[in-house]
Amino acid sequence: MHALAPLIAAAAALALAPGLLTEMQARGHVRANYRGRALPFPFGALIVPSALVALIAIATLRQLGAARLLHPETLSVAVYVLGVSFLGLLDDVLGGTLAEAPRGLRGHARALRRGQISTGALKAAGTTGLALYALSNFSLATGRWLLAGAVLVLATHAFNLLDLRPGRTIKALALIGAGLTIAAGARALYSLGLFLGPALVVGIYDLRERALLGDCGASALGALAGLWLVLTLSAAGQAVALAMLLAFALFGELRSISELIERLPLLRHLDCLGRPSR
């Protein structure tokens, strides 16, 4: 029965998406993408309200005793996903209005040294707090709790680095999720299902260049990827994931991820897959 939750949430997102697109365009909530096209932004804001609207049906079914659709871990998942989505939305609304807003970890660090608190720095600190709090409900030993927290925070950051071209984040989430599900089963998928359904819908709009995710959407997808890793992998697996995420974050600070993808034929092909040709 847990498999019904992502379907109900996806249906809610599909129902809400056209109206949100129209409203964003009518109110001028648009931003140019990498090709200069003005698209609704930040469309990733649809993920959270879609999940919450889906709770109307899910809670009603539970109250009537017809079905218990949510896994117990969903509450901790919701705390983290809702929190990072809000922090990302704050960055979308306020950070984008500053012509010289700091970018990257080094930019935010320089701003802090000047006594400025950027929305990016708030997002980094808030994400860390949310990760540690959400994971404190999993009854982990201290070392494992810190390891899982680092994986969760860096996965969220990695998806913000990826969100420079249409569809990159949803493809990355799909690949991570498919690999983990094949290796370890679908239990984590059910814990994340309330948000995975809307994330898939929003990701397809992003891939087809109908809208831009924004930091709120990229952060939500990164949160789901990080939680999937934490809920599935052993301590050794999480340590490997942490090393890879650290390497990715460092590369993103020093080099262009888009240029790297363009230079590698397989990654370039995957990156373009599903996008409009023009």
Structure tokens at 140: 């982990």
- Provide the sign of the torsion angle of the four alpha carbons 95, 101, 107, 112, taken in this order: negative
Contact 172, 257 (CB under 8 A): no
Check residue 189 and give its pLDDT: 87
Examine residue 79 and state whether it is found in any structural domain, yes or no.
yes
Domain total in the chain: 1
Q: In whole angstroms, what is the distance from residue 105 CA to residue 119 CA?
A: 12
C-alpha dist (Å) from residue 178 to 65, 140, 181, 248: 32, 25, 5, 20
Residue 69 lies in a domain: yes
Pairing of the two strands 38-40 and 30-32? antiparallel
What is residue 118's predicted lDDT score, i.e. its pLDDT?
A: 75
Is residue 278 in some structural domain?
Answer: no
Identify any residues that bridge with 262 across adjacent strands, giving them in sequence order: none
CA torsion sign for 134, 138, 141, 146 is negative
pLDDT at 224: 98
Each residue's pLDDT expressed in tens, for the chain with a length of 278 residues: 667 899 999 999 999 999 999 999 999 999 999 999 999 999 999 999 999 999 999 999 888 876 778 888 999 999 999 999 999 999 999 875 443 455 555 555 665 566 666 788 889 999 999 999 999 999 999 999 999 999 999 999 999 999 999 999 999 999 999 999 999 988 898 899 999 999 999 999 999 999 999 999 999 999 999 999 999 999 999 999 999 999 999 999 899 999 999 999 999 999 999 999 76
| Residue 136 within any structural domain of the chain | yes
| pLDDT at residue 7 in the model | 94
Residue 250's H or E segment, with its range, is: helix 235-254
Give the range of the structural domain holding residue 23, as residue numbers without chain letter: 4-272
Residue 39, helix vs strand vs coil: strand
Q: Give the pLDDT confidence score for residue 95 in this predicted structure.
A: 77
- Residue 1 neighbours by CB under 8 Å, 6+ apart: 67, 68, 69
Does the residue 152 lie in any domain?
A: yes
| Residue in the structure block whose two tokens are 């609304």 | 93
Which pLDDT does position 60 carry in this prediction?
A: 92
Residue 111 is assigned to a structural domain of this protein: yes
DSSP category for residue 136: G
pLDDT at residue 115, as a whole number: 62
Token pair in block for residue 257: 């991820």
277 found inside a domain: no
The residue type of 64 is: L
Q: What is the pLDDT of residue 79?
A: 96
Which one, of 160, 153, 178, lies nearest residue 238 by Cα? 153
Q: Within a domain: residue 67?
A: yes
Q: Tell me the helices (H) and strands (E) count for the chain, helix number first.
A: 12, 2
